[in-house]
């Protein structure tokens, strides 16, 4: 259910101020410590950021998709690591349960995910199953009223701090969607091991690592929806939403990069005048602004369609592809406008340039989005 306009505008304004006053000043600390400070996490919990899209019935704010992306436009104006800690709880870390959980599973986990007391993590990717998600090898073997999980999940966001994993595992050997099921596995269950923290190009503070299951025994009640064979389709539905959320994040970062570029271009003088006076600099600013505006419009349209319960697989893939490529171009132009300074670690544009590279890769590469878009088009025409 949508919030009333005044309440929603107040939320947007609060998040905008929170980003400006509380998050942006802590960006360097996050890079240095590779962690989000506890007091910041507490404030994010108090603001309801962990439960934006989880229903009010389950303790969240119950935002529509359009409202969620508008909040994410704001959250995007700072290091993506801040968004990462809360974003998985309203995205891929909770959506399996929202989409396909039993009433008991929803009641058990969603309130703690919505408050941020529990961190959710989505465990799909494996060493040999990235883009080809259906090739996953992790198995879940039925053993009386339990399942036994074996396998390795890779690059799992928030795994080092997660309390709950949505684990896609094979309950049958054949290559088909029905062979894959989803299990809600609590951290600390015997048989789960975490790998060393991944060393990444950017996004310091957003934690990922391997999650290894070795004869990890979970009760049958951990089977999502109490039904074998719905794991793959659920994962795809989770990603349909997740891709819109990531696209919105790209727009927020692009806005920030444009702002940084404008301030720098007006201040930096060459040939006796601010570089902002040069039309070649203006052209880069204009291209970045038009790119960002186009992505924002696409995302808002896709989100509104999703709120109208239309199938948005194609639109979400379009938005994710366009926005992630777009923010790459905007970051590249920002570095160019900053010139030598843009290559220096002391300026945020250097950090964002590395951070945004991930968006063309995770939650489905650009090439996977192309494949999804084309398949949907061809399917609609047949
Ligand atoms: N919503 C609901 N169901 C979906 C769906 C969606 N968005 N996408 C696919 N499905 C269903 C299909 O309808 C099909 O169902 P049936 O078996 O009943 O026909 C089933 O799932 C299998 O789909 P498909 O045949 O398209 O599977 P493929 O193995 O060809 O792969 C891609 C599909 C490539 C699109 C998928 O593997 C993918 O998205 N890969 C990228 C994974 C990814 O994003 N990883 C990031 C990790 S999370 S950070």
| pTM to 2 decimal places | 0.97
Segments in the chain below pLDDT 50 = none
- Name the residue at shortest CA distance from atom 10 of ligand 1: 233
Mutational pocket test of ligand 1: of 134, 241, 315, 321, the residue with most ligand atoms within 8 Å of the beta carbon? 134
Between CA 166 and CA 94 the distance in angstroms is 8
Question: How high is the pLDDT of residue 1?
Answer: 58
Residue 155 near residue 215 (C-beta atoms within 8 A): no
Angle formed at CA 287 by CA 283 and CA 292, multiple of 5 degrees? 150
Q: Over the stretch 144-200, which tens digit does the pLDDT of each residue have?
A: 999 999 999 999 999 999 999 999 999 999 999 999 999 999 999 999 999 999 999
Between CA 106 and CA 54 the distance in angstroms is 10
Query: Three-class SS of residue 341?
Result: helix
Residue 4: Cβ-neighbour burial (10 angstroms; 0-12, 13-18, 19+): exposed
- Give the atom of ligand 1 at the shortest distance from the alpha carbon of 130: 45
CA of 175 relative to ligand 1 center, distance in Å: 12
Question: How high is the pLDDT of residue 370?
Answer: 98
Between CA 319 and CA 207 the distance in angstroms is 25
Between CA 373 and CA 376 the distance in angstroms is 5
Q: Which residue in 174, 277, 363, 376 is the catalytic one?
A: 363
Between CA 153 and CA 207 the distance in angstroms is 14
- Does the C-beta of 148 come closer than 6 Å to ligand 1? no
Mutational pocket test of ligand 1: of 167, 170, 207, 236, the residue with most ligand atoms within 8 Å of the beta carbon? 236
CA of 350 relative to ligand 1 center, distance in Å: 35
- Give the atom of ligand 1 at the shortest distance from the alpha carbon of 313: 7
- Name the residue at shortest CA distance from atom 4 of ligand 1: 233
Q: Over the stretch 15-55, which tens digit does the pLDDT of each residue have?
A: 999 999 999 999 999 999 999 999 999 999 999 999 999 99
Between CA 125 and CA 154 the distance in angstroms is 6
- Does the C-beta of 155 come closer than 6 Å to ligand 1? no
CA distances from residue 223 to 63, 100, 171, 342 in whole angstroms, order as listed: 27, 10, 11, 49
Q: Helix axis angle, 80-90 relative to 38-47, nearest 10°?
A: 50
Between CA 316 and CA 236 the distance in angstroms is 11
- Does the C-beta of 11 come closer than 6 Å to ligand 1? no
- Per DSSP, what are the bridge partners of residue 184? 166
- Does the C-beta of 363 come closer than 6 Å to ligand 1? yes
Residue 204 near residue 352 (C-beta atoms within 8 A): no
- Name the residue at shortest CA distance from atom 17 of ligand 1: 177
Mutational pocket test of ligand 1: of 96, 133, 165, the residue with most ligand atoms within 8 Å of the beta carbon? 133
Q: Where would I find the beta strands (DSSP E) of 135-232?
A: 139-143, 146-157, 164-170, 180-186, 192-194, 208-219
CA of 235 relative to ligand 1 center, distance in Å: 8
CA of 85 relative to ligand 1 center, distance in Å: 26
- Does the C-beta of 239 come closer than 6 Å to ligand 1? yes
Structural domains of the chain sorted by starting position, each given as residue range(s) with its CATH number in brackets:
5-115 (1.10.540.10), 120-228 (2.40.110.10), 233-381 (1.20.140.10)
- Does the C-beta of 321 come closer than 6 Å to ligand 1? no
- Does the C-beta of 125 come closer than 6 Å to ligand 1? yes
- Does the C-beta of 359 come closer than 6 Å to ligand 1? no
- Does the C-beta of 131 come closer than 6 Å to ligand 1? yes
CA distances from residue 105 to 97, 112, 309, 324 in whole angstroms, order as listed: 7, 12, 23, 33
- Give the atom of ligand 1 at the shortest distance from the alpha carbon of 125: 47
363 is annotated as an active-site residue: yes
- DSSP class of 78: S
CA of 41 relative to ligand 1 center, distance in Å: 33
Question: How high is the pLDDT of residue 3?
Answer: 79
């Amino acid at each position: 259910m949508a919030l009333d306009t005044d309440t929603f505008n107040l939320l947007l304004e609060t998040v905008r101020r929170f980003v400006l006053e509380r998050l942006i000043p802590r960006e360097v600390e996050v890079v240095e410590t590779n962690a989000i400070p506890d007091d910041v996490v507490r404030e994010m919990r108090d603001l309801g950021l962990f439960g934006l899209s989880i229903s009010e019935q389950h303790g969240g704010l119950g935002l529509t998709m359009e409202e969620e992306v508008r909040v994410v436009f704001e959250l995007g104006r700072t290091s993506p690591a801040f968004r990462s800690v809360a974003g998985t709880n309203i995205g891929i870390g909770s959506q399996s349960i929202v989409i396909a959980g039993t009433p008991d599973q929803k009641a058990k986990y969603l309130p703690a995910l919505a408050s941020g007391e529990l961190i959710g993590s989505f465990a799909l990717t494996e060493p040999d199953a990235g883009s080809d998600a259906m090739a996953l090898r992790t198995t879940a073997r039925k053993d009386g009223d339990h399942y036994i999980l074996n396998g390795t999940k890779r690059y799992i966001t928030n795994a080092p701090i997660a309390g709950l994993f949505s684990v896609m595992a094979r309950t049958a050997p054949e290559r088909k969607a029905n062979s894959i099921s989803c299990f809600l596995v609590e951290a600390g269950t015997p048989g789960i091991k975490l790998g060393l923290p991944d060393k990444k190009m950017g996004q310091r503070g957003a934690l990922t690592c391997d999650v290894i299951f070795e004869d990890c025994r979970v009760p049958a009640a951990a089977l999502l929806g109490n039904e074998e064979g719905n794991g793959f389709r659920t994962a795809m539905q989770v990603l349909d939403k997740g891709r819109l959320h990531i696209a919105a994040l790209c727009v927020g970062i692009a806005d920030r990069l444009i702002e940084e570029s404008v301030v720098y271009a007006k201040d930096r003088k060459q040939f006796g005048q601010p570089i902002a006076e040069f039309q070649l600099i203006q052209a880069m600013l204009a291209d970045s602004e038009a790119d960002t505006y186009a992505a924002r419009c696409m995302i808002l349209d896709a989100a509104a369609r999703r709120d109208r319960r239309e199938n948005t697989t194609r639109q979400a893939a379009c938005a994710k592809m366009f926005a992630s490529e777009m923010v790459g171009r905007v970051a590249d132009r920002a570095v160019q406008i900053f010139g030598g300074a843009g290559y220096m670690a002391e300026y945020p544009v250097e950090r964002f340039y590395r951070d945004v590279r991930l968006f063309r890769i995770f939650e489905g590469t650009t090439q996977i989005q192309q494949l999804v878009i084309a398949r949907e088009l061809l399917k609609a025409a047949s």
